[in-house]
Amino acid sequence: MATVVEIPLDGRRALVTGASRNLGSSIARELAGAGASVVVTYLSSEESARTLVSELKGSTGGDHAALLMDATDSDSVRSAVVEASSRLGGHVDILVNNAGPYGSTPFVEMDETEWDRVWDANVKATHLACQAAAPAMRAAGWGRIVNVSAVSAYVRNRSIYSLAKNAVVTLTETLALELAPEVTVNGVAPGQIAESVTDLMEFNPEWAEQVVEATPLHRLVTREEIARIVALLCSPPFDGVTGVTLPVDGGLRINRF
């Protein structure tokens, strides 16, 4: 009989950025289901965020909240960590940096606005949120940070998004050194997500079929699978793991002729 890995996070306080919908909401559900109190941030999807919080409260009986955060605005990111701590009644001890918009305009055609939007939300916001949350984690002697990269970090045809997600991997490794031993810092790098395939087709209708064909498992990963990995990285079985970005992509990133 297979052993089910429990993820005990009772009493933990989590902040998940960009979590009103899609992968972020799945991560919030997984952490809340494991016992954590969760604050989710939103930018334009307030109604979705409020609905998610109501769902979490109903399913877990825990204390959860939603707050506005603009990942491209430094003050907003810093304030989100402070406000989340206030809403949760104590410091954030689990931080999931999930916010991160996509952009793939070729570098030779890209304007500064797109560069700044993608870079600041994916990289700078991750840095600032970690910087704001880490001191209290270290003082308490325990903290878990999970940064969401992407399989695009390992390819070179996704322009600024590839560059930003690769930087998230490097930032994760560097912070793991700086914040040890009290805080572990890890990452996940999702491949194309099954539930988001329609978004992919807006950029190129042929990509969905091509991605499945190029994936050794011949299927796309799901939000639930990725969310489970995020929660596991915050749980006791992974207490000895830091500085790792785990690709969850069905093998898509593997180079081959």
Checking DSSP bridges between strand 143-148 and strand 183-190, what pairing results, if any?
parallel
SS3 190: strand
Out of 42, 102, 154, 161, pick the active-site residue: 161
Half-sphere exposure of 6 (CA within 13 A, CB side): 4
User: What is the number of other CB atoms lying within 10 angstroms of the CB of residue 77?
Assistant: 26
Exposure string (b/e) for 18-50, b if CB count within 10 Å is 16 or more? bbbebbbbbbbbbbbbbebbbbbbbbebeebbe
Q: How many residues does the chain have?
A: 257
To 10 degrees, the CA torsion angle through 178, 183, 189, 194? -160
CA atoms of 191 and 111, how far apart (whole Å): 27
Let me know if 102 is a catalytic residue: no
Active site residues: 161
